[in-house]
Amino acid sequence: MQTTITGLGSYLPEKILTNADLEKMVDTSNEWIIERTGVSERRILSKEESSSTMGAEAALAAIRAADISVKSIDLIIVATCSPDGMFPSTANRIQAIIGAKNAVCFDINSACNGFLSGLIVGNSLINSKQYNNALIIGSEALSRLVDWSDRNTCVLFGDGAGAVILEKSKNDAFGIVDFQFGSDGNNGDLLFATGPGSIKNELVKEAKIIMDGQNVFKHAVNTMSAVTKDLLKQTNLTIEDIDLCIPHQANIRILNAIAKNLSIDEGAMFSNVNKYGNTSAASIPIALTEAFYANMLNEGDTLLFTAFGAGLNWGSVILNWGQINKPEK
């Protein structure tokens, strides 16, 4: 049995924070940011918004595209490392907002690899034959975790949400082909966020992203390249079989290095990091939705997703794309 994506959608806050805006907030410049990250602007959520409200908007768009009833959804998985609060889960909050009263709900936190983790958990649960329609959401309010005095991190991150509907495939030619994941907890301190919580027996209330940029860059390039090569070998495919690679949108230097390592042609590597920055677990579903509405996906295309995030966690997924409705956005 294969599972396939039958609907997708995204949500991005209205507020745009440009590099020119950041020049007024921290010691940086547009040239410095572009050279090191490729990011020109990012979206910032309003005081009234959160990971759950953004995720709900993306979810409703995906439900419309799949042309299914909200009540038919029996599983909601939300990937986020910036939830509304410690509990309840963001998935439960989204369930209440959209009225998916029949769904089982829970969150996954594997940072930037979260959406792929949610996709594969949803795939496995549908294959258990206990669930039919899964809503997989990546939603992040990272601007609330950013240290706006740290020029090395505050220029990178943005807010947003993306969602897909995952169902049993009616045609075995379409759907998730295979996947590979990996983790390295020993290097978790290379990228992490403090509080709220207990670290070294001290209650930490301030939430702040801390990153060792050089080492994260090295690990991201090496692990995403390696896991993708392993997955291609596992599926008896070559990089020439991939019609479009949609990687986690970390920064443009990482994407360029991965493309070089894997010999991916420029036109086969999707990137929107310049417009939205790093939206962690939301980046792949946002990018997938944008590629879809830009008419870049054709029925039968073989897609490659790959991601790397805090934990450390990483993974790659190969999917054969099927036909999806394109409702008015």
Residues catalogued as catalytic: 112, 248, 278
Asked if residue 105 lies in contact with residue 92, where contact means CB atoms within 8 angstroms, the answer is yes
Beta bridge pairs of residue 305 = 246, 317
Contact 70, 63 (CB under 8 A): yes
Q: Which residues have CB under 8 Å from 210's CB, separation 6+?
A: 147, 153, 191, 192, 193, 194
Cα separation, 209 vs 188, in Å, equals 13
* Residue 264, token pair as written in the block: 């991916």
Q: How far apart are the C-alpha atoms of 176 and 123, rounded to whole Å? A: 8
Residue that is written with structure tokens 């998985």 in the block: 77
In the numeric block, which tokens belong to residue 117? Answer: 């983790």
Q: Is the backbone peptide bond immediately before 247 cis, with ω within 30 degrees of 0?
A: no
